[in-house]
Structure 1
Amino acid sequence: MTIFLRIGLPCFFCCGIVACNNNKTANTSANKVAADTAQFYPVANFIADEMKYVDLRNFTIVEKKSILKDTSSHEISKDDFLSAASVILQQAQWFMANKYLFNESIFQDLGTESYTINYSSTKAPIKSIDLLLNQQTNLPKRLFIRVIQQVGDTTITEQYSWIANKHFVISSSKRTQNGFNESNSKEISWKNQEQ
């Protein structure tokens, strides 16, 4: 016991003195500054997964175009599909990189067993994103993106909608202060060839 008192007790006091004189802050996760803590739904991942899903299957892909009053429909290749879908993917990626510009709100619809997450901004070209999720699975059912830009005296509104596992639509309208209106849309759908 005397050996403990002679050796152990002074060591204990030395450790206490060293610890009290240490002014360095511990490198803990509580002391680190988080650059981005928003937990926004990964919209870009949803679009990318849908694109991969179609690309890996033997679907018939049909494009229906409407320009002013003219409508046409024809079958397109997977490359054409991927090219058209990448326009929506780019919007989703821009949103994910700039999500600090957006406010989030959530609406639960008990009638459809789903909820809608809305992202809105007054500071970005993308004015709103609505994502309808299945309440049971949290998987997306529908996605809507609205982009509004002013170019000179022309207001350009682009709307992108995506219904999971079915189709997407890209529509655009131009309106001038003189009352000139122009609109067009492109719907691309896919289905299994056996259906």
Structure 2
Amino acid sequence: MTRYFYDTEFLEDGSTIELISIGIVAEDGREYYAVNAEMPMDRIRKHDWLVRNVLPHLPLTSRTSLDKYLGNPPNSFPRPPIDFVGLDRATTCVKPRQVIANEVRDFLLAGVSKPELWAWYGAYDHVVLCQLWGRMIDLPKGVPMWTNDLRQEVHRLGDPQPPEQLGGEHNALEDARHLKAMHQYLQHIREVLDTDT
């Protein structure tokens, strides 16, 4: 069994969930990061929270107009235009969704018989992950149909204060790295609790 800690950034509008980026860190130290070349950038540019929290971590063109936008308070109007902010498609992490699906499958199943997935408030992350392949029943053989939730594990262990993330929040790979560190911390808490009983 190999544990994988992952995070996705996505656009969720009440009807659909669209992948923006995915970061995965294996317990053995391997890492994977990709940005969806097919993300609906026009819709994302209209979403103030995504513009402020997710876009700055992506490889972009016209970063100057994004910086001007970020210089204004959240949800202020009129908003500076960011129509020309787009993905830098020359960056190797920017890939078509189908390529991401194939690479994620290969990454999760590389020499592993039973991958174990972990995320933070992972319900939406799991849906985004599964939708890489279409319907849930289309998951590649060996990819788990569920994700373990680190938030639930924190609750189960009595709500210990997990370590804070020191930077890169909402960068999917940085978030996944932090999830691995949180899991290691929670393993230590479990060991202490087991020794005390």
Instruction: Report the TM range for the smaller structure's normalisation.
Output: under 0.3
Q: Determine which structure has the larger strand proportion and give its number.
A: 1
TM-score of the pair, normalised by structure 2 = 0.22
Q: State the structure with bigger RCO (CA 8 A, min sep 6), 1 or 2.
A: 2
Larger radius of gyration: 1
Q: Determine which structure has the larger helix proportion and give its number.
A: 2
